[in-house]
Structure 1
């Protein structure tokens, strides 16, 4: 055995080297842990991106959760049995009577052409005694007939008059007022173009191609110019709608992006925004406004004049918080938006790992219980006060449980992960999210506004962008009219034909007031 003798200095050097290697190893281990977290976050982001590209966009749960989400009214109804406190209790889905399957009847309001089918006279004889048969009734069956677009020309002949005694007395019948001065399209044609684009998401170039098949040879540029002009012409109606909306006790707000190609001082690729507002009380109003940005300056202009002391429902975008503070509004948070974060966090988990014990799944299930209470209230057609009592009894304990889960996981999950973002969003919005239980008339989410903005998002996939700022403003105005009509149960096409016909004659504020969707539809019947 060989004995090695070290000096004190050599020993100290070896110890220092060992400690240095340990520190280096610890540092590398730390770097490995950091890199693993980064890799995990990148994989999560990749899965989320792939899900947006290829997975179904719906957030509807599986059959079991969907039943709980929409059919919990019976489960929450008073039965005399004690209510279990644990969220894991089984829910029995009540039986229901299956409806008889059959062909859906055709709309009775559709016009009908009657085609009578009669036997020849030679066959109207009784086979038993030869007596003449008499009519005792008819058997009715119906088919749906579709008449393709009919393009026609309305020729206006303005009669000219002259004095037979001199050359000075010539008169010409005045031309009828048009919504677009010297416009090529009638009110009916304009209404068809507007509803085709803003209700059916049919781009103008496809409209032009469709019209050409029926002899209407109009260019996309002509249709676009007509859209801009008629969108500008309806501005007085939009102003009145805004006045009514800002006077509502409850206002919903949201925004989405829009690309405007020819905007002065900005690149074509720059994002602009379409702001959406919806009335939660009073006549249903859906308003859209174009703005080049998403900041407080643009929001201030849209909410200028809002009734102080009202209620604002929105997502967690910080600008809305400033609006609520400036105008003294009660600010409500959107549970659908909060839930969406947890849905995204759950979606990136391996399918084999998506079990009820997962944190995102637990939050989603708890939020579903909140919505089950709302479903029960709708099923029972509860008024605001009874809804408030139901929320206090059923929703408040669930909110307390969600808050406990939030506090348990908030500081132990990586903040930049999808789950971390979901938890931090929930934490930041918690006071706004829980406020709805204080008043039975307050909504649980902002779906009313999101549903109004969805047709624009669908249409945007087809026409992709607005060409000019004027076009973006016109689109916002026309979308507002179409969606307000839909919210009031009014046929947008019929309303727009009526509006475009009567708007040129409107001069005073009272005249314009009578042209609001819910008033014009009533007076036109």
Structure 2
């Protein structure tokens, strides 16, 4: 459910505009192949006076075409050289640098495997099945070994991304359950976690780290090294209170998570009981004002801090008063 934007002097909500109908145009940046259709010569005669017809323009329509994936083999031939007079002049052209030395896949193929697994969420056995369909009989174990080797190869880049994240003034954190079927010393039913971190840059740095659980000892090291006084924003979980305190960070909650609880509270009320007399509705009304202010701030970033001081601070005071009233 999207937060309502409350109308208020100085906080104008844009009027609803109906979108025009019709098909969305295709991306102009896509490569285009022009197929031209012309009338045969025997139809280029005017039926009225017998004059020859001339072109006056074209009618254009576009379709999206997809070129099926193809598998090919790159054959590397390194020329060898030798001296005609002795046995000491043997030379061979150097092999190009590769992410995986003597690896089976080109860098482009490796990129396709990684994107398929992590962006398209395809398990390795499905990627192997796709490759077989196109003519490549590659085992899942080979694919898994390549994924591990790529992970090791890009670790220096990940380290640099972490340096940028730890130097940021604002970071966001969350963690989600993940099941690991085969892990030494742990049952398959054990709950592991992927800890996600992001900063407020454009584009942001996003880091995903595996840990054996959701407790502070599993996530504390991820924020170690952040400059004191930096902001850590979370869903309000108690573990982030401990992480922020240990690393000298300011812990902020997420308004979206706050609002979600009041939405759920309002949904269980009978329809006849809805109204501004309900605490949940009152909280949603005030939180909606904060969202409206932020929407206005995005339109005029130079006035963002002034808007927050003069308007949002007052709304936050009203929210606190309402909290104290119902404590």
Shared fold, TM over 0.5: yes
Deviations 1:217-271 (A, max 9, x none): 2222222221111111100000011111111121112211222233222222212
2:238 match: 318
Shift of 1:311: 2.0
Matching residue within 398, 401, 425 for 2:315: 398
Q: Is the 8 A contact 2:263 2:280 kept in 1?
A: yes
Matched, 1:186 2:106: yes
5+ unaligned residues in a row in structure 2: which ranges? none
Distance 1:401 1:78, change over 3 A: closer
2:10 match: 78
Matched, 1:213 2:130: no
1:4 match: none
1:340 match: 260
Q: Is the 8 A contact 2:235 2:257 kept in 1?
A: yes
Please give the alpha-carbon distance, in whole angstroms, between the structure 2 residues aligned to 1:345 and 1:222. Answer: 51
TM-score of the two chains, using structure 1 as the length reference? 0.57
Matched, 1:163 2:83: yes
Deviations 1:305-343 (A, max 9, x none): 212232222232233233333443333221112222333
For these two proteins, the number of residue pairs brought into alignment is: 326
Matching residue within 380, 389, 393 for 2:306: 389
Please give the alpha-carbon distance, in whole angstroms, between the structure 1 residues aligned to 2:122 and 2:293. Answer: 39
Please give the alpha-carbon distance, in whole angstroms, between the structure 1 residues aligned to 2:142 and 2:281. Answer: 53
TM-score of the two chains, using structure 2 as the length reference? 0.88
Shift of 1:290: 1.6
Matched, 1:409 2:323: no
> Which has the larger share of helix?
1
Shift of 1:122: 2.1
2:215 match: 295
Q: Is the 8 A contact 1:159 1:172 kept in 2?
A: yes
Please give the alpha-carbon distance, in whole angstroms, between the structure 1 residues aligned to 2:111 and 2:251. Answer: 38
5+ unaligned residues in a row in structure 1: which ranges? 1-59, 80-91, 411-525
Q: Is the 8 A contact 2:13 2:292 kept in 1?
A: no
Distance 1:342 1:128, change over 3 A: same
Shift of 1:196: 1.7
Superposed CA RMSD? 2.6
Please give the alpha-carbon distance, in whole angstroms, between the structure 2 residues aligned to 1:396 and 1:251. Answer: 22
Q: Is the 8 A contact 2:178 2:192 kept in 1?
A: yes
Please give the alpha-carbon distance, in whole angstroms, between the structure 2 residues aligned to 1:156 and 1:354. Answer: 75
Comparing 161-170 with 208-217, greater Cα deviation is found at 161-170
Please give the alpha-carbon distance, in whole angstroms, between the structure 2 residues aligned to 1:255 and 1:290. Answer: 9
Distance 1:95 1:338, change over 3 A: closer
Distance 1:204 1:361, change over 3 A: farther
1:52 match: none
